[in-house]
Amino acid sequence: MEEVQSAASWLSSDTRFKRIQQIFIQNCFSFIRIDLTDQKKMAELAFLLKEHNMTPDTLYLSNIRENLQYSSENSLRDFNASISQILSKDMAVIEASSEIKNETPPRQQLYRLSGVPVHKANSV
């Protein structure tokens, strides 16, 4: 119920829900399970995207970068090298950072590598 009441949620209004629904109906969304620190797998994904002339619009990273800080020494370096293979200057990247001391949802940062403005999460 909290999700529905959140102003930033795509469930909070019929307009927002229909926008997300159309993305799925038009088959413009893909869930990909991949180890983002595996540079070889990410190179394969980058090749497939290029081969099919596909450019991802948005990359949702959640708080992966933050969690990798507590992993092995090379994890964050491998992660950065891996995702750089699929990034484009106009891609929207969404990252979150947790509020460890608070019980609030993670803060989200939305940006484009090109510096082109991105709609804020609550304006979806």
pLDDT of residue 71: 83
pLDDT band at 8 (very low <50, low <70, confident <90, very high): low
Q: Between 72 and 101, whose confidence is greater?
A: 72
Residues 38, 64: Cα–Cα separation, whole Å: 14
What are the residue ranges spanned by the domains of the chain?
1-29, 31-123
What is the chain's mean pLDDT, rounded? 76
Query: If we measure between CA atoms, which residue out of 85, 97, 81, 91 comes closest to residue 114?
Result: 91
3-state helix, strand, coil in the chain (%, to 5): 35, 15, 50
pLDDT band at 1 (very low <50, low <70, confident <90, very high): very low
Helices (H), the chain: 2-5, 14-25, 39-51, 64-68, 75-83
- This prediction has a pTM of 0.63
Residues 114, 9: Cα–Cα separation, whole Å: 26
**CB contact at 8 A, 120 and 110:** yes
